[in-house]
Structure 1
Amino acid sequence: MSRPVVIVVAAGPGVSGSLARRYAREGYDTGLVGVDETVLTTLAGELEDLGATAHHVVADITDADAATEAIGGLAERFGRVDVLHFNPSAFRQKHPLTLTSAELLQDVGLGVAALLTALQAVRPYMSAGGRVTATGSMAADEPWNEAASLGVQKAGLRNLVHSIDATLEPDGIRAASVTVRGTLGKEGPFTPDRVADALWDAAHQDEAEWRTEVPYSG
């Protein structure tokens, strides 16, 4: 039987990298999607050192056609997807009087809409027991007006995850977002590794008590 597979969208050196390493240590092979070839190559090498098979693709996930081809290609290469993790968001320091509608839509395209592209690309390769997870933020509930689009993204992402879970539950596939209620740092409860552990735990909840939104307060 082939090893389970996780695909990480917007893979990089932070939480997503920590999560990819956690899955590799747990026996998963990994598909990485990101925008920086050097970062992806380095991370893939780290995963292979942990015993995983790791493939990566560089793609603009806001380009639906290109992202579908890239993510679907990874899924086809592995032949299965057990976990899809969605990590991206756009930080734009603009308040509602300077943020334009076009900028808001651009940011939502990255931080929310791209999840639909990724999900639809991998769905044919997911089966019962599959999981979809997303990195959420307290900005969904406590937005900072100086970065207004971020709160909109995180609120929209959490809402979309609820809908994804309701849609896929009849097929035995569940979805959850983790609301990180703190600021990422190099020490303390909000290091990338600690947040990655929370994301792992969310994906491996008891299905009888499944929560589509899991708060992480450290």
Structure 2
Amino acid sequence: MTRNVLIAGAGPGVSGSLARLYAAEGATVGLLGADQGVLATLADQVEAAGGSAETAVADLTDDVATRAVVTRMAEKLGHVDVLHFNPSAYREKDPLALSPDELLEDVRLGVGALLTFLQAARPFMGPGGRLSATGSMAADKPWFGAASLGVQKAGLQNLVRSIDAALAGDGIRAVSVTVRGMLAKEGPFAPDNVAKALRAAIDQDESDWRPEIAYEG
């Protein structure tokens, strides 16, 4: 059976690398993102790697519109095996400059949008389904100069744990991978290597499942 993967916040970095990993196995990859040009490039890469691609431009902070997009894509695919949640908002403001509204706006994308994504896809997932999320060391070692990012990543890690506990009884598991390093073009924190760590986390043995895994590079 063809594996179907949906990626929210698809872009040229880690999420693109993960899409190509699955494509190499013949998967169909649904790509949701904000930039049509980026999505078109990723779709070409997915197909070149041996998979099939579906794309949709989506403002992930728009709950109604995103639910509709995810539902349409999942209906077309028929079933969903893997969800990957990638987006976050980077706003270079420290706690003395960051407003409550700005913080909530960023959390809506980096955490809240996961609820929309999951809830819309859930009817199309069965036992063996998996959800993953790109985490960050900012969750417990935040940089004060971009205070909202640490809040997002801490909230994401916490929410993924709750999702895993809520769905484990249905045979669906969730995991966040805490990337403990700065992404780089080369080396252990290059997107391709981080994507491999994500894939390993998604494929971990359910009998010894961990909902949060640190990638140290």
Q: Same fold (TM over 0.5)?
A: yes
Q: CA shift at 1:27, angstroms? A: 2.7
Q: Secondary structure at the match of 1:92?
A: coil
Pairing of 1:6-45 with structure 2 (within 5 A) = 6-45=5-44
Pair 1:213 & 2:212 matched? yes
Please identify runs of 4+ aligned residues in structure 1 that moved more than 6 A: none
1:46 maps to which residue?
45
Distance 2:126 2:172 in 1: 7
Distance 2:25 2:93 in 1: 40
Q: CA shift at 1:208, angstroms? A: 0.7
Pair 1:189 & 2:188 matched? yes
Q: Which amino acid in 1 is paired with 2:9?
A: A
Over aligned residue pairs, what C-alpha RMSD do you find? 0.6
Pair 1:171 & 2:152 matched? no
Are the counterparts in 1 of residues 25 and 50 from structure 2 also a CA contact under 8 Å?
no
Report the TM-score, using the length of structure 1 for normalisation.
0.98
Q: Which amino acid in 2 is paired with 1:102?
A: D
2:77 maps to which residue?
78
Distance 2:10 2:20 in 1: 11
Distance 1:95 1:43 in 2: 34
Distance 2:49 2:192 in 1: 16
Q: Secondary structure at the match of 2:185?
A: coil
Q: Which amino acid in 1 is paired with 2:42?
A: L
Q: Which amino acid in 2 is paired with 1:87?
A: N
Q: CA shift at 1:60, angstroms? A: 0.1
Distance 1:6 1:179 in 2: 21
Pair 1:129 & 2:133 matched? no
Pair 1:145 & 2:144 matched? yes
Gaps (5+ residues) in structure 2? none
Distance 1:26 1:162 in 2: 28
How many pairs are equivalent?
217
Pair 1:120 & 2:114 matched? no
Pair 1:201 & 2:190 matched? no
Pair 1:63 & 2:54 matched? no
Gaps (5+ residues) in structure 1? none
Residue by residue over 1:169-217, the C-alpha shift from the partner in whole angstroms, topping out at 9 and shown as x without a partner, is 0000000000000000011100000000000000000111100000000
Q: CA shift at 1:114, angstroms? A: 0.1
Q: CA shift at 1:26, angstroms? A: 2.4
Distance 2:190 2:31 in 1: 21
